[in-house]
A = this chain, B = another copy of it.
Amino acid sequence: MMEKEKKQRTVATIHARSFSVSLDEVKLPSGRVTERIRVEHPDAAALVPILDDGRIIFIKQYRYSIHEETLEIPAGKIDPNEDPEACIRREFEEETGNTVKNLELLLKYVPAIGYSSEVLYIYKGTGIIQKGVPLSSDEISQVEILSFNEIRSYISTGIIKDGKTLIALYTLYSNCFEKDG
């Protein structure tokens, strides 16, 4: 077992609606005291929604974190006591108005391991029924449906820059790490 950093005290905390951020003083195994930011973030779920013709549904939205518009797969935070699959069905319907029949877990990972507890579940979704009207009135997003060639172009030019979207697409289209490989 590797030696841990030991928490000494919490210096400051910010509480947002669905998560909190703390600054902790920790003692390193060397004895030195330093600080760690810890974002206590709920887990989240994302979906690669694949239409019957192979095209994929993306969300175009403004992101406050980087002050830019982005192209991302649909995703959202898991509510307390909510199942990741129930979460992504709900978020997908809220963001696009569509429903998804079949879900397959592609990957479960930690996006920002240096400072956040968030775990993200990414699903592949088929059997999409397009209804077309997002449910949430606050949505500042638009639906975009892209072909494989468009996706490849947006990745190579850096227009698709969101981590979960990139890792989902690479996981989906690569086969070298198949479990039965």
Q: Could you list which residues of chain A lie within 8 angstroms of chain B, going by C-beta atoms?
A: 1-5, 12-14, 16-17, 19, 21-24, 26, 28-30, 32, 34-39, 41, 44, 60-67, 69-70, 72, 107-120, 137-138, 140, 142, 152, 155-156, 158, 161-164, 166-167, 169-171, 173-174, 176-177, 179, 181
**In the docked arrangement, what's the CA distance between A111 and B120, Å?**
11
Given A3-B140, A166-B107, A167-B167: A72 touches B32 (CB 8 Å cut-off): no
Asked whether, in the complex, the Cβ of A140 is within 8 Å of the Cβ of B37, the reply is no
A138 & B173 in contact (Cβ 8 Å cutoff): no
Q: How far apart are A46's CB and chain B's nearest CB, in angstroms?
A: 11
Contact indicator A61/B2 (Cβ below 8 Å): yes
Residues of B within 8 A of A117 (CB): 65-66
| Copies per assembly | 2
A25 to B139: give the CA distance in the assembly, Å.
Answer: 17
Are B62 and A113 closer than 8 Å at their CB atoms?
no
Give min CB distance, A181 to chain B, whole Å: 7
Q: Is the CB–CB distance between B39 and A115 below 8 Å?
A: yes
Task: Give every chain B residue within 8 A of A70 (Cβ-Cβ).
Answer: 110, 113
A146 to B136: give the CA distance in the assembly, Å: 47
Cβ contact of A72, chosen from B24, B26, B111, B113, cutoff 8 A: B113
Could you give 30 example pairs across A and B, Cβ below 8 Å? Answer: A2-B62, A2-B142, A3-B140, A4-B62, A4-B67, A5-B62, A5-B64, A5-B140, A16-B23, A21-B39, A29-B140, A30-B140, A36-B64, A39-B115, A44-B114, A65-B114, A65-B115, A66-B117, A70-B113, A108-B158, A109-B163, A110-B163, A111-B112, A112-B118, A113-B161, A120-B163, A156-B179, A163-B163, A167-B170, A173-B176
